Each structure stands twice: as structure tokens, then as C-alpha cells.
Amino acid sequence: MIVKEVSIHNSKLLELISELDRGLAINDGEEHGFYNQFNGLEELSKVFVGYIDDQAIACGGYKMINEKTAELKRMFVKHFYRGKKYGEKLLRHIEEEIVESGVDELILETGIKQIAAIKLYTRNGFRRISNYRPYIGKELSLCYTKSLKGDL
């Protein structure tokens, strides 16, 4: 898989995000409106698409929280390509990009029904933390952190 930084207006990215959002709407149910308000692409510092040949199969990005912390956002791998380590490759690429900008910590929020995502993050060194704003008190949310100091 080749990972490329893309614009938030990239048509392949938007197709992947649309597929991601359809799945999240089902999993989030009535809470989808709350969660979706924090998923705008405009807030992202950088966004990436993973390609096999010319087929866009994965996406992810991050937004800066402060000069030392970034939040992982919009991670998605098309269903057919799951279980083949493409999520890990994309995550690693994003982590390397973040470290180059001087960030020490990567945080994220995922849903309790996102079993594959939870496995990906825990397998790659993320540890569970108390929910951070705006997810405090949200029972469908799980928050994680990973120190990037010396890890990459």
C-alpha cells in the first residue's frame, strides 16, 4: 500500500469518508449527530489516503490539539481489505508524520462497537484513558493515548 497526503477535497478521500460515515451512523444510532459534529475534515491538520494500485482503500488523519498532542481522526479501511495489516501501515505512516512535527502524544476516541479499531489501537501500543472532552460521560466512547517519545 502506498500512502499519500491528500487535500480534504480529494474525491477518493470523500468516497472513503462517506463509506465510513454510513457505518458509523448505524453503529452510533441516535447518538450519531453528537459524534458526527466532531468529524469535520476542515479541522484536520493532515489527511492521508492509502492506495493499492489506483484503488483508494484506507484513510486517516490527525488534528493538532496543542504543540505536543495530536488527535487521530477518520481512520478507515474498506471492508474487503481489513485483516491484511493495511490499518497498521496507515497508522504507522501517520505516527511518523506526527513525530516529524514534534508531537509527543497521540490521542483518539473510538466507539465501543468498533471492535476491529480497538484491536488495532491496543495492538499498536495505545492504552485506555479516561474520556476527554467532548466525550466525558459518553458511554459509547472509548479514549486512548500513545506516547510517541522514542517509539518510532
In a domain, 60, yes or no: yes
Q: What is the pLDDT of residue 151?
A: 54
In a domain, 152, yes or no: no
Count the domains in the chain: 1
**Which residues are paired to 47 by β-bridges?**
6, 61
**Structural domain span for residue 7:** 2-147
pLDDT band at 41 (very low <50, low <70, confident <90, very high): confident
SS3 48: strand
Give the global pTM. 0.91
**Residue 37 burial by Cβ neighbours in a 10 Å radius (0-12, 13-18, 19+):** exposed
Distances (CA, A) of 36 to 20, 74, 111, 122: 11, 11, 12, 24
Q: What is the pLDDT of residue 22?
A: 84
In a domain, 36, yes or no: yes
Geometric angle at alpha carbon 75, from 71 and 79, rounded to 5°: 165
CATH (domain of 83): 3.40.630.30
Q: What is the pLDDT of residue 75?
A: 96
Distances (CA, A) of 146 to 8, 69, 131: 25, 10, 14
Cβ count near 65 (within 10 Å): 15
In a domain, 11, yes or no: yes
